[in-house]
Copies of this chain bind each other. A is one copy, B any other.
Amino acid sequence: MQFHVLSHLEYTVKFPSNLILNIHAQRNSGQTILEENFTVSPNVKTEEFLLDNGTNRLIRLQTGDEKKLVIDYAATVECAFDVIPAGEMDIATIGDLDPAAIPFLFPSRYCQSDRLGRLAWDLFGKIPKPYDKVNAIVDWIHNSVEYVRGSTDSATSAYDTITQRTGVCRDFAHLGIALCRALNIPSRYVSAYAYQLDPPDFHAVFECHLGGRWIVFDATRLAPLNGLVRIGVSRDASDAAVASIFGQVQGTAMKVDCQLVPGQTFTPLERKHLLRRGISLESNHAAATD
């Protein structure tokens, strides 16, 4: 499948400042950038750099003096995914785990898995299969936490959400990650453009390392799992912000969109269609699945 994605950001700069933007679609085995355009108006100094072994594409931008800044990103992205049967999603023991997944076992700013251990084991510890464990977590979050726009802020973490039980996509993802890590399942945060997300916005989901693959989950159930165009993967939102601001800059407008390229077909795959199958957005055979 091919998607057109775009984001449009406006800022008021009060003082020479720096921004780090994370809005570019990833390049990876499941995601090919067919066409891409990034503009800043007026023109200021920008530079792209990669983090996390090349996974995440970031832009740093020096605003210069007081001004209005308009940032536009648009891309056409070819996306593939693999559907994985339940039987192939066992969790590796720590001894067999891909070392690159190990950092995603540890607690992070918004995912205090170290403080959720007993609760996680009580609720989900007896479920034998790891994929079923994660699905039970996702279902439990979906049923226990209410999606309420504006109910949380940038200080809200999984330790709050487990009790306060409201939040937005970021909070749903953080709670999922924290509960999985508490059960020794490597888990990471994914920011994405999301097809059929309504209203359109940046979306956040999470991935668990099961059977050697990163399998994607979304406790909000607000968008199909196979309609995600990944932007950043990280420990949690602390290092996947759309814009990290260093200085005096005020966001004034934002527009995000994700559309299917005309002529392409799309069959949504959500939790209810997948049952005990999983989706990996890092396709091993990109050509075969689009």
Task: Give me the interface of A with B, judged by CB distance under 8 Å.
Answer: 18, 20, 45, 47, 49-51, 58, 60-62, 93-95, 99, 102-103, 105-109, 112, 114-116, 118-119, 122, 144, 146, 154-155, 159, 162-166, 184, 238-239, 244, 246
Contact = CB atoms under 8 A, between A and B. Distances in A.
Contacts of A165: 118-119, 122
Contacts of A144: 122
13 contacts: A18-B95, A49-B99, A58-B99, A58-B102, A60-B94, A103-B239, A105-B244, A109-B112, A109-B114, A114-B154, A118-B164, A118-B165, A119-B163
Contacts of A99: 49-51, 58
Given A114-B154, A114-B238, A115-B164, 7 more contacts: A45-B95, A51-B99, A58-B99, A106-B109, A109-B112, A118-B166, A163-B163
A49 B45 CA distance: 39
Main secondary structure, interface of A, reads mixed
- 10 nearest CB pairs, A to B: A18-B94, A49-B99, A62-B95, A118-B165, A107-B109, A106-B238, A106-B239, A107-B238, A94-B246, A108-B109
